[in-house]
Chain A
């Protein structure tokens, strides 16, 4: 009795998982087709870039500065034991450009915009606005999902580069303040000596994948919201959990992947 019940539960969650993977993959495919085929709605795209991008500059900047400064403090403390404070710029910049800039920006910005998409599209879904779009012969994927996906693909790499720069500057500020033997010019120089193009490509390259996860998961959760306002709330919460997890898990594999090149 309890065995069949727990088997049933396992079966149900496996089915939900497959449904989720199939649903998001289909949506991503259709969104990509819509992005590459006319008619293009540039007004919707511009609106999304503004709503998702410009309004995320604040959160991305604050996160980057805070992380950069804390890294400066920690590495200066740690490397002082080896008498190598002058290496802080090298270590911190590699960590930021390759890993922390992309991942933290994706987590913070993704949480904000992914949940926003789920809430907005979820409300449209439960108030039959998605049905209304379909009833007029229009395609909600083209109208709503495609501009959000493309806007996220554009803004997340840009926000990441901004975050990289701010985080490095933040760490520099702390180091130069606390260690008079490290000058800003020396610090910047050591950063430029260290960072290679491949670090930037590996770091920002990952964000295109993160952007896809964020937008598709947010839109998918919104489109499958069910059961009134409560359903919209659930979709929003699920989006934050699922996007963060996918970013963190995929980060490992993407890092490996980019190292292969």
Chain B
């Protein structure tokens, strides 16, 4: 088992507000790990640190043997093109149509891609999230759950090695929740994508995860397989999964 992503002794604060005091976490290539934890404990911040959107005050982050922290913005490009992120807010580009949103990362990587091929790839990603044929819509015309799914299609369009899912199923109906859960598993099994999932939905967490990590008290307080976490005696974990199940 090869460590692919490594958070070492991460300290992060926003002004006086401390988020992590020495957080450690190792992620293995090809696994799906879910981060659970209360609202405001810094789950989204953890994902943003990994791709350098935020920087820790102290500590190091490694991705595939290369240090992310301390890299210059221009050097992060290579890392970012291998890691796709689904934002909690979806973060769609309002000024672009749904189709152009999904095409964005494809064009960013290969500006000379043939129009026809681009169209096919965009349609294919939209179909994966059950939004086939919605290329012409504007983000403002979409519901919250639809935006989330377009955000997911855009992340998939990067054809990345790693996908960061920030609450992928929040706001989705049960059928689409299941569809997204199955998609996460399928990407992992077929394309060996490494996934980091942030979710409050324990059903999803149990369904998609190889391992689960619990964020509390500004640390990762527990990490283990789904079974280990379910049977954990850690009081934080028990309180969270009871309340959240």
Chain A residues proximal to chain B, CB less than 8 Å: 39, 123-124, 127-129, 131-132, 134-139
A50 CB → nearest B CB, Å = 14
For B81, give its contact among A39, A128, A137 (CB under 8 Å): A137
A-B contact pairs, 23 of them (CB 8 A): A124-B93, A127-B89, A127-B91, A128-B91, A129-B91, A129-B94, A131-B48, A131-B91, A132-B85, A132-B92, A132-B93, A134-B51, A134-B53, A134-B80, A135-B84, A135-B85, A135-B87, A136-B104, A136-B158, A137-B76, A137-B78, A137-B108, A137-B109
Q: How far is the CA of A12 from the CA of B26 in the complex (A)?
A: 40
Q: How far is the CA of A129 from the CA of B108 in the complex (A)?
A: 15
Report the nearest B residue to A136, measured CB to CB.
B105
Q: Is B77 an interface residue (CB 8 A)?
A: yes
- The reply to whether B80 and A127 contact each other, CB–CB distance below 8 Å, is no
- The reply to whether B94 and A135 contact each other, CB–CB distance below 8 Å, is no
Within 8 A of A (CB), among B60-93: 73-74, 76-78, 80-81, 83-85, 87, 89, 91-93
Q: Which of A39, A123, A127 has the most CB of B within 10 A?
A: A127
Report the nearest B residue to A132, measured CB to CB.
B91
Question: What 15 additional pairs, Cβ within 8 angstroms, besides A131-B87, A131-B91, A132-B87?
Answer: A124-B94, A127-B94, A129-B91, A129-B93, A132-B93, A134-B51, A134-B53, A134-B73, A136-B84, A136-B105, A136-B108, A136-B158, A137-B77, A137-B80, A139-B74
Please indicate the chain A residues that have their CB under 8 angstroms from the CB of B243 in the complex. Answer: none
Q: Is B16 an interface residue (CB 8 A)?
A: no
- The reply to whether B81 and A136 contact each other, CB–CB distance below 8 Å, is yes
B226 CB → nearest A CB, Å = 28
- The reply to whether B89 and A128 contact each other, CB–CB distance below 8 Å, is yes
A212 CB → nearest B CB, Å = 22
Contact indicator per residue, chain B 41-69, by CB within 8 Å of chain A (1) or not (0): 00000001001110000000000000000
A185 CB → nearest B CB, Å = 50
Please indicate the chain B residues that have their CB under 8 angstroms from the CB of A135 in the complex. Answer: 51, 53, 80, 83-85, 87
Report the nearest B residue to A123, measured CB to CB.
B94
Please indicate the chain B residues that have their CB under 8 angstroms from the CB of A132 in the complex. Answer: 85, 87, 91-93
Report the nearest B residue to A143, measured CB to CB.
B108
Within 8 A of A (CB), among B110-133: 111
Q: How far is the CA of A129 from the CA of B77 in the complex (A)?
A: 17
A38 CB → nearest B CB, Å = 10
Please indicate the chain B residues that have their CB under 8 angstroms from the CB of A137 in the complex. Answer: 76-78, 80-81, 108-109
Please indicate the chain A residues that have their CB under 8 angstroms from the CB of B105 in the complex. Answer: 136
Report the nearest B residue to A126, measured CB to CB.
B89
Q: How far is the CA of A127 from the CA of B77 in the complex (A)?
A: 22
Question: Assuming A131-B48, A134-B53, is B87 touching A139 (CB within 8 A)?
Answer: no
B108 CB → nearest A CB, Å = 5
Q: How far is the CA of A137 from the CA of B85 in the complex (A)?
A: 11
A234 CB → nearest B CB, Å = 18
Q: How far is the CA of A124 from the CA of B93 in the complex (A)?
A: 8
Please indicate the chain B residues that have their CB under 8 angstroms from the CB of A123 in the complex. Answer: 94
Please indicate the chain A residues that have their CB under 8 angstroms from the CB of B108 in the complex. Answer: 136-138
Q: How far is the CA of A123 from the CA of B93 in the complex (A)?
A: 11
User: Would you list the 10 A-B pairs with minimal beta carbon distance, nearest first?
Assistant: A137-B80, A132-B91, A128-B91, A137-B77, A137-B81, A136-B105, A135-B85, A138-B108, A131-B53, A136-B108
A140 CB → nearest B CB, Å = 10
B87 CB → nearest A CB, Å = 5
Report the nearest B residue to A120, measured CB to CB.
B95
- The reply to whether A139 and B89 contact each other, CB–CB distance below 8 Å, is no
A96 CB → nearest B CB, Å = 37
Q: Which of B51, B83, B91 has the most CB of A within 10 A?
A: B91
Q: Which of A132, A134, A135, A138 has the most CB of B within 10 A?
A: A135
Please indicate the chain A residues that have their CB under 8 angstroms from the CB of B76 in the complex. Answer: 137
Q: How far is the CA of A62 from the CA of B51 in the complex (A)?
A: 49
Q: How far is the CA of A139 from the CA of B108 in the complex (A)?
A: 10
Question: Assuming A39-B111, A123-B94, A136-B105, is B77 touching A128 (CB within 8 A)?
Answer: no
